[in-house]
Amino acid sequence: MRPEIITKEQLQKYWQGQRALTKRVIEAFPEEDLFNFTLGGMRPFSAMCAELSAIAVPSLLSITTNTPIEFNEKPSFTTKEELLNQWDADTVKIDELFPQLSEAQFQQNFVLFGSYDLKIQQHIFYFIDNEIHHRGQAYVYLRALGIEPPYFWETF
């Protein structure tokens, strides 16, 4: 068998590891700052989390059921506790849906949110990149608030 660069199971674990770190970053924010603190005219971190939540499970549902969806990042939460509950629910749902992707699908194209036509592996890596990108921004918010963020390498 030809060796694999990364297996499907490893990719799922890698993504969930990143999500575990993002959860710690959410937890590190005081509730008020999670919803209101910004720098440079950017969004508060809660709005970025609403975007991440609007991408992960809806995308996997769209792909696994082969059903087009629209992008809707209107937050389902108004408190830190509700955001954390949403995050945990998404984590469970990802673990349900991700294994339903066949290995062959990762090299197939899929049109997501009616416009992004990429290979499924490219979509998944984009989800992860986008999460790391916004989480990196949250690190600056936390530092500017005088709060020590979680260690970046604690992705487990």
User: Site residues (CB under 8 A) for its own copies?
Assistant: 1-8, 10-11, 14, 18, 39-42, 103-104, 106-107, 121-122, 125-126, 128-130, 132-137, 139-146, 152-153, 155
Q: Following CA atoms 121, 124, 129, 130 in sequence, which dihedral angle do they give, to the nearest 10 degrees?
A: 140
- Distance from CA of residue 28 to its chain's centroid? 17
Q: Are 89 and 59 in contact (CB under 8 A)?
A: no
Cβ nearer to its own copies, comparing 82 with 154: 154
Alpha helices in 29-74 (DSSP H): 31-36, 45-65
CB of 43 to its own copies, least distance (A): 11
Cβ nearer to its own copies, comparing 77 with 126: 126
CB of 115 to its own copies, least distance (A): 11
CB of 39 to its own copies, least distance (A): 5
Gap between the Cα atoms of 126 and 136, Å rounded: 15
Cβ nearer to its own copies, comparing 47 with 76: 47
